[in-house]
């Protein structure tokens, strides 16, 4: 038996024969050409044909996964039309006098390498997109023959990685799942797999070869484990686990569309965290009662320049319209630290997690901040929107942020532009400073949302991105829990509600602890909503 450990993309257990994924061979070997202009024309023709293919894939994706997820193929079209990409290929052809296939491949590798070395995980995942569009062009240059997906029938696919276009073309009624040796949980492929409900594990680090083709395999999407040619004991255990998973899903359906309330009558708000409007179907599918953390920086990460007020307004407005009256707590810009954007021109920092980020950028660039606040205020007229300021460490910061917000609202009043004048304004408590000062901060805002991820990082002085320190990282550390309890108590003394929006909120071993502390709201990833509701409804806080 061969055992692999990777990263789970979609929590599910599937058992079936393994099939290696084969792509048509494409030759990108470099050779000298006599007439570079002929090669440029070949490239331009292949690029145009690829763009037409992508338009067709977009239409197919809209029908299959909706507009938000289909947008990846619009992004791919834009990448193929990008001047930097096109100029790089054509310069390599002309200056190096090489064939178009080699020029496309060299450009792809250079750009992919650039993305891989970015600090932000989202931008790192864009390396796969560059390689995907380039392979599409190379395929056209080599004759245009595509992959025959019909031969993958009731199998688990094994590949080095799968491009978004390849994932989309998998027949989800016939594919049991897939496992890849590379890949990222932030990639478009992973997002599509989650949307399509395909059991998948990525980044196992092990390239599989022909000797495993056709062997029985098991994907455990709950743990990220993959078992190839399992022994009888493992197979038996995993079949039992598979049945337990099905029973668990059936049980969770019993808590769909019911109140999130403990046995002794304590009502808890159960919200979801999302990174962009594309996650809204997951919010609704998992029956979240609203959005407790909307990470607005996706608008900045996906743009090549600062997003306009209209771009932001439309994204927020659409979110509220989809929620149909449910609350959306939108965190203002949190760029910096592990989320770097080139056009912000931030100075290099030795320790960016403690540097120029989040509210610090907004307060030092008020025009940038005002653009976002205007978009948020205007969108608030279309639903229940709350604004949340991140990385607060002082009362002075809150007052300065609120003053800028008031200036924006005065401008809107002067222009008779509607907005919700009762819109709640809160802060994230994610630094020890804000937790310790929570008694004073509570007087300034309508709510607290405790960001347990950064609060743990800063309290323990351990970089949560540094996997080598995992043995020292304790998210249940008494110091972290004391700061959370202190924040909740101080919030309630001032009459405001307090939530938790970090990963600890979904930790079922801490749910009762948090409820006994008095937490009012928990905001978690969409798939964690129903398990958490089941846990809350099982608790009786009157019992010792």
What residues are labeled active site? 188, 501
- Give φ, ψ of 177 to 5 degrees: 165, -175
Q: Is 482 annotated as a binding residue?
A: no
Q: Annotated binding residue at 206?
A: no
Q: What angle do CA 154, 21, 141 make, to 5 degrees?
A: 130
Strand partners, 425: 387
DSSP sequence for 308-322: PHHHHHHHHHHHHHH
User: Strand ranges (DSSP E) for 101-174?
Assistant: 155-159
Distances (CA, A) of 292 to 344, 378, 420, 426, 463: 27, 20, 18, 11, 25
3-state secondary structure 46-87: HHHHHHHHHHHHHHHHHHHHCHHHHHHHHHHHHHHHCHHHHH
Sign of CA dihedral 522, 525, 531, 533: positive
On whether 266 is known to bind a ligand per the annotation, the reply is no
Q: How far apart are CA 370 and CA 401, in angstroms?
A: 10
26 is written with which tokens? Answer: 């494409």
Which residues neighbour 62 within 8 Å (Cβ) at sequence distance 6 or greater?
70
Q: Tokens representing 62? A: 């809209």
DSSP 8-state class, residue 354: G
Residue 256 labelled as part of a binding site: no
Q: In what order do the strands lie in the sheet with 216-220?
A: 2-5, 225-228, 216-220, 13-20, 155-159, 175-180, 199-202, 7-10
Identify the bridge partners of residue 271 per DSSP, sorted by sequence position: 523
Instruction: Tell me if 295 is assigned to a ligand binding site.
Output: yes
Length of the chain: 544
| Strands 155-159 and 175-180, sheet pairing | parallel
Residue 522 neighbours by CB distance under 10 Å: 26
| Angstrom distance (rounded) from CA 132 to CA 148 | 17
CB-CB neighbours of 509 under 10 Å: 9
Q: In whole angstroms, what is the distance from residue 226 CA to residue 210 CA?
A: 17
Distance spanning both ends of the chain, measured CA to CA: 47
For 225-275, what is the HEC assignment? EEEECCCHHHHHHHHHHHHHHHHHHHHHHHHCCCCCECCCCCECEEEEEEC
Tokens 């490239």, residue located: 43
131 in Cβ contact with 112 (< 8 Å): yes
Residue 276 counted as an annotated binding residue: no
For the annotated binding site for Mg(2+), the residues are: 430, 454
Which residues are annotated as part of the binding site?
A: 295, 331, 430, 453-454, 464
């Amino acid at each position: 038996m061969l055992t692999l450990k990777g990263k789970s993309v979609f929590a599910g257990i599937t058992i079936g024969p393994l099939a290696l994924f084969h792509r048509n061979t494409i030759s990108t070997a470099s050779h000298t050409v006599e007439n570079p202009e002929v090669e440029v024309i070949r490239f331009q023709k292949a690029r145009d044909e690829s763009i037409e293919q992508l338009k067709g894939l977009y239409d197919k994706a809209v029908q299959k996964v909706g507009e938000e997820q289909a947008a990846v193929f619009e992004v791919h079209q834009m990448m193929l039309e990008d001047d930097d990409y096109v100029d790089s290929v054509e310069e390599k052809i002309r200056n190096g006098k090489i064939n178009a296939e080699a020029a496309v491949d060299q450009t792809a590798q250079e750009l992919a390498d650039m993305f891989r070395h970015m600090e932000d995980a989202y931008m790192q995942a864009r390396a796969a997109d560059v390689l995907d569009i380039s392979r599409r062009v190379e395929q056209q240059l080599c004759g245009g023959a595509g992959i025959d997906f019909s031969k993958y029938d009731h199998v688990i696919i094994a590949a080095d990685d799968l491009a978004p276009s390849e994932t989309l073309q998998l027949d989800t009624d016939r594919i049991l799942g897939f496992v890849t040796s590379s890949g990222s949980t932030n990639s478009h492929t992973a997002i599509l797999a989650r949307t399509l409900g395909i059991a998948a594990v990525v980044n196992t680090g092990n390239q599989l070869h022909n000797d495993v083709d056709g062997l029985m395999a098991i994907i455990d999407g709950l743990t990220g484990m993959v078992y190839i040619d399992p022994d009888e004991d493992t197979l038996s255990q995993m079949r039992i686990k598979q049945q337990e998973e099905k029973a668990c899903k059936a049980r969770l359906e019993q808590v769909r569309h019911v109140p999130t309330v403990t046995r002794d009558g304590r009502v808890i708000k159960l919200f979801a965290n999302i990174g962009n409007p594309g996650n809204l179907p997951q919010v609704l599918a998992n029956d979240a009662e609203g959005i407790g953390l909307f990470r607005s920086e996706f608008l900045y990460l996906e743009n090549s320049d600062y997003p306009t007020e209209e771009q932001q307004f439309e994204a927020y407005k659409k979110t509220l319209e989809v929620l149909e009256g449910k609350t959306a707590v939108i965190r203002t810009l949190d760029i910096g630290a592990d989320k770097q954007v080139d056009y912000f021109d931030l100075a290099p920092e030795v320790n960016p997690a403690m540097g120029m980020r989040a509210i610090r950028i907004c307060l030092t660039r008020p025009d940038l901040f005002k653009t976002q606040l205007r978009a948020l205020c205007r969108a608030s007229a279309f639903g229940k929107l709350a604004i949340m300021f991140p990385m607060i460490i002082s009362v002075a910061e809150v007052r300065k942020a609120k003053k800028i917000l008031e200036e924006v609202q005065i401008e809107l009043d002067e222009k008779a532009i509607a907005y919700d004048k009762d819109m709640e304004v809160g802060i994230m408590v994610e630094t020890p400073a804000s937790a310790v000062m929570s008694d004073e901060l509570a007087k300034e805002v309508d709510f607290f949302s405790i960001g347990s991820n950064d609060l743990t990082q800063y309290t323990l002085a351990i970089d949560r991105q540094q996997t080598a320190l995992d043995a020292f990282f304790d998210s249940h550390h008494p110091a972290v829990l004391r700061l959370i309890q202190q924040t909740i108590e101080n919030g309630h003394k001032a009459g405001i509600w307090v939530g938790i929006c970090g990963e600890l909120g979904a930790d079922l071993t801490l749910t009762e602890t948090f409820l006994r502390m008095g937490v009012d709201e928990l905001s978690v990833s969409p798939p964690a909503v129903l398990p958490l509701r089941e846990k809350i409804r099982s608790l009786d806080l009157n019992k010792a």
